[in-house]
Structure formats: structure tokens, C-alpha cells
Amino acid sequence: MQSNAPTSGGRSGAGKNTIKEFSTKESILNAATAQFSKYGYEGASVQKISKAAKSVDRMIYYYFGNKEGLFIQVLERIYDKMNQAESAIKFSANNPEKALSEVIGFVIDYYQKNPEFITLLNTENLMQGKHISKSAHASQFSSPAIGVIRKILFQGSQIGLFRKNVKAIDIYLLIVSTSYFYVSNRFTLTAFLGKDTQTKTAVKHWHKFVTDVVLRSVKIY
């Protein structure tokens, strides 16, 4: 009877619909992520989100207070997801050069496969970060990747492969900016450069180039 768990789609009458796939709350979050990502904060409407979630407007206010509250949770979720992904993978030990390449590969791959991460961050930046500062656990959002890079750089410098005094945060930003921008601005790039930047070949080329740039900026010649 699952009477206390709102199901998505249809009234959960007497015994029917017992195999619930997603809770209403989760459905709304998923729909909201998709809508905010596709249309931005203003462009995504409460009504369309609730409809896409096969629920009704009222439920958004019930679970999230208002549109802003919903957006904040969406933001938190995709950032959590990113951090979890960063934490999950293992990088080659004892081979700093390879490990650094793996970090680059991970980041490029993640952005390529999760473009909604990028559009949501862009949306938040358009609004000057006003929501993320309201987030309850924004502090814990510092990227695990920076720590990983720091360790790799230290290892590399220890064995005389990498230069000393290279800051992990700079390398992190270098990797992130080049990877992020290439996805974020793909439409205007394609229009202005006059050629598709998102073909498999083009992406591979950019990946290789970025890897080369990053390694040249840390290695000792």
C-alpha cells in the first residue's frame, strides 16, 4: 500500500501500482535537473518541471518550498555526483606522468558525458552564485581532484620529474578550464570557427593537446 510514499504517475489506489520506480521527490529532482540544464533558471518553469515529473506543481512546494529551493537541491546533487565520481576512481600510483594524464582524461570525459553539469554551473554563475552560497553544505564541495593533483605533483617532484613550486590549484584550473570551455562553448565555437568541434576526432585531438600542454607545464626539460 505504500501510502506514505508518494509515487510518480497515477494515483496510488488500493494495492495498484505497487512497483514504484522513483519517488515523487526523486522524479521532480530528475525532471528539474533536465529542465534547468536545458533552459536555465528562468527558462525552466515550475509547471513544466512538475509535468515532466508526472506530478503537479503543488508537490514542488511541498517538497522544496519554492523554485529556488528546488534549484539549490539540483545544484547540490550534481555537485555531489561529480565529487563522488572524482573520489571513486583510482589513479596510477608511482607513475606521476601517467596519473596526471589520467586525471585529465577523467575530467574531459566527465564533462563530455555530463554536459548538464556545465549548463547548470553556467546558470548558477549567471546568477552570480546566489544559490550555492545559500546551500547548507556548500563548504564540503571542495573538489577531491585538487588533493589528488597535489599528491601527484609532489610525487613527480620527488623523483625529479616535475618542477617544484607548481601549484596544484593552478594545474587543476588549467585542466578544468580547458576541458570545461571546450564543451560549454561548443555551439558558438562551431559557429565562429566554421567547423564542428564535437566530432570524435576533434575531441580526441583536444584531449591530446591539453595533455601535452599540462605535462609541458609541469615537467622538467
Residues that bind a copy of itself (CB under 8 A): 39-43, 79, 119, 121-126, 128-129, 132-133, 138-139, 141-143, 169-170, 173-174, 176-178, 180-182, 184-194, 206, 209, 212-213, 216-217, 221
- Provide, rounded to whole angstroms, the least separation between the CB of residue 51 and DNA: 9
Q: Are 156 and 162 a contacting pair, CB within 8 Å?
A: yes
Which of DNA, a copy of itself, none has residue 62 at its interface (CB below 5 to 8 Å by kind)?
DNA
32 binds DNA (CB under 7 A): no
- Provide, rounded to whole angstroms, the least separation between the CB of residue 36 and DNA: 10
Among 61, 141, 154, 206, binds DNA (CB under 7 A): 61
179 binds DNA (CB under 7 A): no
207 binds DNA (CB under 7 A): no
- Provide, rounded to whole angstroms, the least separation between the CB of residue 15 and DNA: 9
β-bridge partners, 23 = 7
- Provide, rounded to whole angstroms, the least separation between the CB of residue 46 and DNA: 4
59 binds DNA (CB under 7 A): yes
Site for DNA, rule CB under 7 A = 1-14, 24-25, 44-48, 55-63, 66-68
